[in-house]
Amino acid sequence: MRLSRYFLPVLKETPAEAQVASHRLMLRAGMIKQAGAGIYSWLPLGYRLLRNIERIVHEEQQRAGHIPMLMPTLQSADLWRESGRYDAYGPEMLRIRDRHERDLLYGPTNEEMITDIFRSHASSYRDLPLTLYHIQWKFRDEVRPRFGVMRGREFYMKDGYNFDLTYEDAMAAYDRHMVSYLRTYERMGLKAIPMRADSGPIGGDDTHEFLVLAETGESEVFYDAAIADLRLGDRAIDYDDRAGLRAIREEWTTPYARTDETHDESLFAQIPEDRQRVSRGIEVGQIFYFGTKYSEPMGATVSGPDGQVVPVHMGSHGIGVSRLAGALIEANHDEAGIIWPEGVTPFHCGIVNLRQGDGDCDAACTRIEAALAAKGLDPLYDDRDERAGAKFATMDLIGLPWRITVGPRGLKSGKVELTSRRTGESEEMSPEAAIDRVGAIYGA
């Protein structure tokens, strides 16, 4: 992509309304524009990020055997009357009436709709186990939308629903979700800790939230430092191996980790003092097991192997896809701007031409751009007629992890500069070496 032809409306001034770094930086880097309280347009750079986050979520869900689909944003109130949540949900639900005086709502979550789909089309234990998910916009009329996309009213969420014959099967689904979530966050370069949680309006007993540690997080968190060192790394994961998944769940849930909602001082005090941590966190996902809470009132049943008709065991599992955009920045930024982890970066590499219009510089940049594209990478080439300082400031602000700088002096000795946004370190090398290095970083 050529910056001169792109739409990157960066702001010079720090927007006064933004209280946290991620909100400030998303506005300054031209990633989002507020459309209303807690409602945002995703400008091209923000949209690329959102798509990358979404792609990783899709890949990891499907790796775990979960099946993608898409449900609408508008739902019929009648379905929610069946579960009893139409009245229970309260003012957070956006209620709408159509021209035929039918009550609709903008979905805050989809338990009712997916249960209706299931009961219409599945009737036997042979249809199980089944996990369906979608990534779709949600609306919750939060009292205090704030921190940009982190607590929006309209937000983008992955929500998945498992249907199982028995409690044991549903627990296997729970474990599978936990492991797939750990993998998802790790691929994004995030450390997200599962913490025992409260189930709120979704219901159920077993539930964990995933929290990214950040000073600006909305929840206070208490944990054993041992959990922060755990990594899945490149372990091979077999999603059919129930015992293996359970072992990973235990590894991640045995050390103490809770939010202020479920914190227990006396249990916390049992952790060796040098490992006790109190911090803040951003909730980027939550998994729930709620048994037959929806299947029973809504008649989502199957006939078991013995011919008996029983309600299915269910759980639901959410990832805050749009909130992750903010959480990623909270965990990865400095004074100058964003620092994208390679797994999610909207462009793989920036190319800065220090002397636009100079034949050699222009030709070298074009060659580097084409070579990176040939490797399947997306570079962002700053081909504007701007001062070097302004180009560097833009690159630092938008946070691409690698930058190749091309200038007339270096080119005379056949060199360009490769700079890491995270460390700030630069190295001189031939254009070919820089292309190979960037390619290798992304496994291209």
**Chain residues in the site for ligand 5CA (CB under 6 A):** 109, 140, 142, 151-152, 155, 157, 159, 202, 283-286, 288, 316-318, 320, 322-323
CB 68 within 8 A of CB 55: no
183 contacts 216 by C-beta, under 8 angstroms: no
Tell me how far, at minimum, the Cβ of 156 lies from ligand 5CA, in Å.
8
**CA dist list (Å): 185 to 83, 250, 336, 377, 444:** 32, 18, 25, 22, 22
* Smallest distance from ligand 5CA to CB 286, Å: 4
Instruction: Kindly tell me which of 159 and 369 has the beta carbon lying closer to ligand 5CA.
Output: 159
Where would I find the H helices in 375-404? 388-398
State which residue, 38 or 379, has the beta carbon closest to ligand 5CA.
Answer: 38
Closest to ligand 5CA by CB, 223 vs 288, is 288
5: which DSSP letter?
A: G
Give the single-character DSSP code of 411: H
Listed in sequence order, the DSSP H helices in 313-387 are 321-331, 359-374
Shortest Å, Cβ 268 to ligand 5CA:
23
171 vs 435 by CB, closer to ligand 5CA = 171
Q: CB of 326: closest distance to ligand 5CA in angstroms?
A: 8
> In whole angstroms, how close is the CB of 349 to ligand 5CA at the nearest point?
30
Query: Tell me, what amino acid is at 296?
Result: E
Neighbours of 11 (CB within 10 A): 12
User: In terms of CB distance, is 322 or 394 closer to ligand 5CA?
Assistant: 322
Contact yes or no for 300/162 (Cβ under 8 A): no
Give the separation between CA 317 and CA 102, rounded to whole angstroms.
Answer: 30
Measure the CA–CA gap between 183 and 217, rounded to whole angstroms: 22
Angstrom distance (rounded) from CA 333 to CA 350: 17
Give the C-alpha separation, 227 to 252, whole Å.
7
Minimum CB separation of residue 393 from ligand 5CA in Å reads: 30
> In the structure encoding, which two tokens stand for residue 73, read together?
């944003």
Query: Cβ of residue 39: shortest distance to ligand 5CA, in angstroms?
Result: 11
Give the residue with the Cβ less far from ligand 5CA, 185 or 442: 185
Beta bridge partners of 281: 213, 219
Beta carbon nearer to ligand 5CA, 191 or 355 = 191
Which residue, judged by CB position, is nearest to ligand 5CA in the bound state?
A: 320
